[in-house]
Structure 1
Amino acid sequence: MAVITMNKLRLKFLCGLHVLTLCTLVMGEPFYQFRDHRDQLKYMRKTDKKNVVKSQDDAEVVLEKYGYLRCSVLRRKRESGSHGRSFSFSDLFNMKTQNMFKEGGFVGVCNEHEIKQALQEYQRTYNLPATGELDEKTKQLMSSSRCGNKDNEAEVVNPKAVVEVVDGTKKQPGEDSGHQSKRDLLQESNKSNIPPTQRLSKRSAPSNTMLNVLVGKPPSSSLVRRKRYIQEYIERLGVSDPSKLFQPVTEEERKQKSVIVKRNVHEEPGRHGQMPEDGEEHLPLWQGRDENGEMFTKDVIKWRLLRSGYSTKIPVEDQRATLDLAFRMWSEVIPPRFVEDTDGDIRDIDIEIAFGKGAHQNCQQDFDGNGGEIAHSWHAGNMHFDDDENFKSIRSDNQDGLYLLRVAVHEIGHVLGLAHKSRSYSIMYAYYHGLEMSHHDEIELGWEDRKAIQNIYGVCKGVFSTVFDWVRKRPDNSFIYNTYFFRGNHYWMYENHANRTRYGDPLYIAREWENVPDSVDGYLHMFYFTGTAMVDDAFFFKDDNVYKYDSINDRVVDGYPQKIAVKYRPKSGQNESIPDSIDSVFFDMRDKNIYFFKNEYVYVYDPKEPEDTRGCCVRKRLVTEEYPALEGETPLPANLDAVYYSYKDKAMFFIKGEEYWINSLYHPKQKVIQNAIEYKGKWYEKWFDICDVTKMK
């Protein structure tokens, strides 16, 4: 009996051991095959520095995540959003098998040679010594905060994008078409010793910021103008929508899910099959680009910060204002305009934006906590920001944290179709380099960023009310100038040395040019010496009025406007004055006469004559007779939009619609007047980034 009992006990023990062994084989095998030992994740997550690359395993995870490895690394993974979570056996099995499948099919496990090659490629991308070894500089960069998009994403290219041409020759954007003498009397006001991207918040006058720069006082940066935009947006929001939250939302207030938006394709069948029964195509938005490769084919792109996706770190109005500014910065260089839509149909929203932590907004890509991945986005899709990051507004004086504006501008670049750039000065550089920005104190699109996005969407076009170089005197009696483009109720200042408009433009005319009307017909600057006296008078023309402008005090002179027909009355015995509603006006430094353009005629007026004999006109001729075209060239049209002399190019320009001409024989010191017109092409092939950012009412 005792023997039988012992045998039963031995049998139970062996059965139990066998069951335990089977359990071990079934439950334990995945853990032992996974080189990352995910069963230990809960112990490995105790450190706050979970996104710091310390080992080869960590580095391989980064290389795989950001597209440098097409094979699979089965090491310890810093799975996004996994901290503090437990994993079931099925979770772990799925994580393992998903790692073995990538775009294009099944892939094998990485070998050491593939990993070394990937590390070298990463190092070359970020201008590190391509040793293939995990050195300290590589670890440091890999541990830095960055965008969650892969580095090997393809950038959209539009084959029909405008090629930059200057004077018939392909040139690098921003390259000068000529040289400026050091002894020139006139200097472009923004060409100084300050960094080229630090620009001014106001136009130039002796009492304002620009002149402070010129005489050596500390410059204002473009960030000042951007802060002003943020503040004004918030003030408008407070007036138009005072019920909105003006404090960060709490975790309890934030909803956990977003509406999943489907792209409405109306009655067209899907690209990969038949029309779904619900009439909507369940495809990523970026598959809807047109034949030119553009991500969006509409003039106005709508965006929304989801109520379920407010950040808990900064006030809601700062979030909305920052995003609005980030979109504006892109619309300053490309034709599409971006509009915030807070209450329309969610299906009409082109870009949804949300903040979240870990698993968020039904997104397939979880965030990884503080550090590491700080945001991600999709071509022609949505943008998500990791709310575990310490985001801040550019209005903040806090030295710590990440500028939300910089990250948002970067992510919008992805949404519009741009990929990562390897140059650290590009806004599309994957890593957030806050130290550099704190030194330069600004966030702006660089030359490569602007040209890359224009390769997709083309350049801005349009018609101008007038164009002119504004010249004024400095306290040291030298003169400075800037080029201005007026359109309707707004204007741009053009930075000729940088070959682009000033950051933050356009601005409203009424706000910056006191009492100057909108939609002016022309600008006149008389600038000459008569005996020992100097005439330095500026005028704007609109309809039947002329406005004399005080460039020193930055306002229209008292006693103006006056009637054109009175100020430029007929000569004695004549009955024709300078007509109202002129097309353009030009002061010719060669004969010191004023040339008024109206329809197909030009009226020549001599302002130097004595008051009692002065009047219209020295002569009236057809424009094509006064300014004949060179043989074989396209002649000047009637109804010109602008005629002006460029101190930068030392040339007389004529602009009509989107085309421009030059007077190839013009020289301001010419004794015998000679004119010969040469057609040059489209104005937007010479002057860049003159874009309407929104409907300016």
Structure 2
Amino acid sequence: MLTLIQLILLLFWTSVGSAGAEKLYHRRDRSDVRIVHANQARVITDKHAAEVFLSRYGFIKPVNWEEAQFEGSASAFTDDFLEDFGDAVLEGSSQHPLRNPAWDGKDPDGASQSFISALEEFQRVSGLPVTGVFDGATKEAMNKPRCGVPDKEVDRNAAVDPESSSSASDTVNETDANRTATNSSVSADSFEDDAYHLNDTDGFDLKGHISNNTSVNGSHDGDMGNTSASTHQSQAGHRRKHHLATLISKNRQRRDVSERGYVAFSKRLLKWRLIGEGYSSQLTVEEQRYIFRLAFRMWSEVSPLEFVEDMRSPLEDVDIRLGFGTGRHLGCNQRFDGTGQEFAHAWFLGDIHFDDDEHFTAPNTGSGISLLKVAVHEIGHVLGLPHIYRSGSIMQPSYLPQESSFEMGWMDRKAIQHLYGGCNGRFSTVFDWIRKEKTPYGEVVVRFNTYFMRDGWYWLYENRNNRTRYGDPVTLQIGWHGLPKDGVDAYVHVWSRKRDTVYFFKGTRFWRYDSENDRVFTLDPEGRRYPRPISEGFPGVIGPIDTAFYDRRDSHIYFFKNALVYAFNVGANALARGFPKSIREVFPAVRRGDHPDGHIDAAYFSYTHGAVFLLKGSRFWRVAGSRERRRRLPLPRNGLLPHEEVGEQWFDICNVHPTALKLKR
């Protein structure tokens, strides 16, 4: 049994241990001790808080955000944690700005020039009047919900040599004694073409400034004057820098220098995972994973990148890791601020963290913060995009938490393609689908839509917007009922005063399509069953074919097979005299040697351009029509004009990973 004295001591130590630690204060009235709700972000109300904001997001000095991911990371807290700090733990100053009455809403000495310049830059990119004054509009802009990634980063493209990653990282904490303060700011994007100066800021070369980050300890009053302590700190610092160099080196193994000279992922198929210790408490795990699949798909729809969820590989082999946390989270060096300001942050070629203090919701719920929209934004950072100060861009640092119909804007598309290039690939067929529709007033109008097909997928191309429809590609089964699942070889629309018939071809067979009911005929009005052999419906043409199109100029269907072309007279239901012929003979090259030869992928008559195109691989040849022949005499009939790239005529026709093909918003 416990003695009376032991019992008293036990109660005493229990009460001491359970009591909260006394708040440290510097003023007699303790007015500087402010209790802030642990899960509520601090509101920016004064100049000091504004300066912290401007410094955090790189407006005062560009932030080396990539390497900041690893500095002070949780893995550095080893058994020699206290030894690493040694005598570097110093007494705090009673004149710390947070405790200085001079910062209570005003600065009696006047704001520094660097603060004013940074404030002016923030006002400019935020679309505010550039005054250099911390006014109400500026305060409101700073308190908007935003991304945690800095707006102004050290140019990661200034040092892209993987061989130098260790030596470069060794200088992270070195202080340049001769460094002078600069008021310049650099845009995180350094696109050479003015069209890609997305942040709309003036940049400068940082190659000579990468190692000029200040020491984490800054400067202190007094001289430590202890040689052994300095030596011990040097050894500890070397251990930390070696650890940092290792982490950075692993991260840089994923990079490559793109054809345009920018650092990007070195592969086109990227693996991602929502880590098990980082699930959100607000949505089911399946909801979270579905939203992330959709977010990755949206980037895949406008770039040559494909994304696949990987739940089996070792975590270090996963390219992009996602997780939720609050405060100090997931071993990250950056701390979340609670509800109200930073939604998430991301690391180039690495991780994405979401602040689980925020009220994340599924798309189109009408309340809360759209996790889909935040995820799309942060994935953009992982892929290499900076913040973009353009209305409608998903990469704006501050954005509306809910926006039901947001999509990738033109600037977002061009920015990601500037890093990774456009989308290229063969198409099995391209066509304009003509159909008749009735207006609300009972009038019959003729409309067309352009379709690109590849394998069992298709894209609807919006010619007026010069891009694909949002949400494409989709499977052939969804939009074209009854066609083969793995795609078709050709589309032919025989359209004249007497005929209006649509055919699809695959292998040795063909189908007739019912455009009014949007499905294939199994039995047409004439009593013919489908599918039928090509040779039965088009005597003289032997399948399989490469492609075909109907030429309204002469009422012939042109079938392409290997290096030959067959002209089929629809009215006579027979091959035209002298056919088959060489493709070179019927469609001669205008420029010597510039010809697709044979094995054409698609032959396409475009109502938008009023021309026929032959597509092969990533190139197309435009057939010279009567308009071109009148302008450029002498051009041969059906002459093929010099080739061009498909991706420069029709934009953003991009694959997605098969696992994401059937996702819907």
TM over 0.5, shorter chain? yes
Structure 2 CA distance for partners of 1:142 and 1:65, relative to 1, 3 Å = same
Of the three residues 414, 423, 426, the one matched with 1:451 is 414
Matched, 1:477 2:444: yes
Deviation for aligned residue 1:646: 0.9
CA deviation after TM superposition for structure 1 residue 45, in Å: 1.2
Structure 2: which 5+ residue stretches go unaligned?
1-22, 64-87, 99-108, 159-192, 197-237, 523-528
Judged with a 3 Å threshold, the aligned counterparts in structure 2 of structure 1 residues 58 and 602 are, in CA distance, closer, same or farther, namely same
Is the Cα contact below 8 Å between 1:299 and 1:337 reproduced in 2? yes
Aligned residues of 2:39 and 2:338 also touching (Cα < 8 A): no
For residue 361 of structure 1, report the CA deviation from its aligned partner.
Answer: 0.5
Amino acid at match of 2:652: D
SS in 2 for 1:590: coil
Partner of 2:142: 142
User: Hey, what does 1:488 align to over in structure 2?
Assistant: 455
Question: For the Cα contact (< 8 Å) 2:624–2:637, is it kept in 1?
Answer: no
Helix, strand or coil for the counterpart of 2:580? strand
From 287, 290, 305, the counterpart of 2:256: 290
Match status 1:561 vs 2:531: yes
Provide the C-alpha distance between the structure 2 equivalents of 1:348 and 1:98, rounded to a whole number of angstroms.
44
Aligned ranges for residues 154-193 of structure 1 at < 5 Å? Answer: none
- Asked if the contact 2:328–2:335 (Cα under 8 Å) also holds between the matched residues in 1, the reply is yes
> In the alignment, is residue 605 of structure 1 matched against residue 596 of structure 2?
no
Offset at 1:430? 0.3
Tell me the residue number matched to 2:607. Answer: 647
Aligned mates of 1:421, 1:113 — CA distance in 2: 26
**2:347 corresponds to which of 370, 378, 384:** 378
Q: CA deviation at 1:595?
A: 0.9
Superposition pairs of residues 403-482 of structure 1, within 5 angstroms: 403-434=370-401, 437=403, 441-475=404-438, 476-482=443-449
- 2-structure distance, mates of 1:114, 1:280: 35
Out of 567, 590, 600, which is 2:553 matched to?
590
Structure 1 residue 112 displacement after superposition: 2.2
Distance in structure 2 (CA, Å) of the matches to 1:623 and 1:479? 33
- Confirm or deny: 8 A CA contact 2:26 2:32 kept in the other structure: no
Q: 1:47 to 1:414 in 2, by over 3 A?
A: closer
Query: TM-score by structure 1 length?
Result: 0.67
Structure 1 partner of 2:503: 539
Contact 1:286 1:381 survives alignment (8 Å): no
Aligned residues with identical type, % of pairs: 39
Q: Which amino acid aligns with 2:588?
A: P
Q: Does 1:661 align with 2:652?
A: no
Question: Residue 497 of structure 2 aligns to a residue in which SS?
Answer: strand
Aligned twin of 1:322? 291
Residues 147-203 of structure 1: per-residue CA shift (max 9 Å, x gap) = 001110257779xxxxxxxxxxx9999xxxxxxxxxxxxxxxxxxxxxxxxxxxxxx
Cα pair 1:294 1:457 within 8 Å, conserved: no
Q: 1:526 — aligned with what?
A: 494
Matched to 1:54, the amino acid is T
Question: How much does 1:318 deviate?
Answer: 1.1
Post-superposition CA distance 1:428-455 (Å, at most 9, x none): 00012236x2xxx312111111111111
Q: 1:200-279 residue pairs with structure 2 within 5 A?
A: none
Aligned counterpart in structure 2 of residue 346 of structure 1, from 315, 318, 323: 315
Partner of 1:70: 61
Distance 1:283 1:327, change over 3 A: same
The yes-or-no answer on 1:551 pairing with 2:515 is yes
Corresponding residue for residue 388 of structure 1: 357
Taking a change above 3 Å as real, the CA distance of residues 50 and 434 of structure 1, as seen in their structure-2 partners, is closer
Which residue does 2:475 correspond to in 1? Answer: 508
Q: Unpaired runs of 5+ in structure 1?
A: 1-26, 73-88, 100-108, 159-169, 174-271, 570-576
Q: Amino acid of the residue matched to residue 128 of structure 1?
A: L
Are 2:332 and 1:337 equivalent residues in the alignment? no
8 Å Cα contact 1:579-1:598 kept in structure 2:
no
- Opposite residue 504 of structure 2, the aligned amino acid is F
SS state of the match for residue 314, structure 1? coil
Q: Contact 2:38 / 2:338 at 8 angstroms: preserved in 1?
A: no
Whole-angstrom CA distance in 1 between matches of 2:150 and 2:143: 16
What residue is the counterpart of 1:61 in the other structure? 52
The one-letter code sitting in structure 2 at the alignment partner of 1:112 is S
Shift in Å at residue 504 of structure 1?
1.2
The answer (yes or no) to whether the contact 2:39–2:337 under 8 Å persists in 1 is no
Which amino acid letter does the alignment assign opposite residue 51 of structure 1?
R
By how many angstroms is 1:50 displaced?
4.4
CA deviations 1:239-258 (Å, max 9, x no partner) are xxxxxxxxxxxxxxxxxxxx
- 8 A Cα contact 1:390 1:401, kept in partner: yes
Question: CA offset at residue 280 of structure 1?
Answer: 6.6
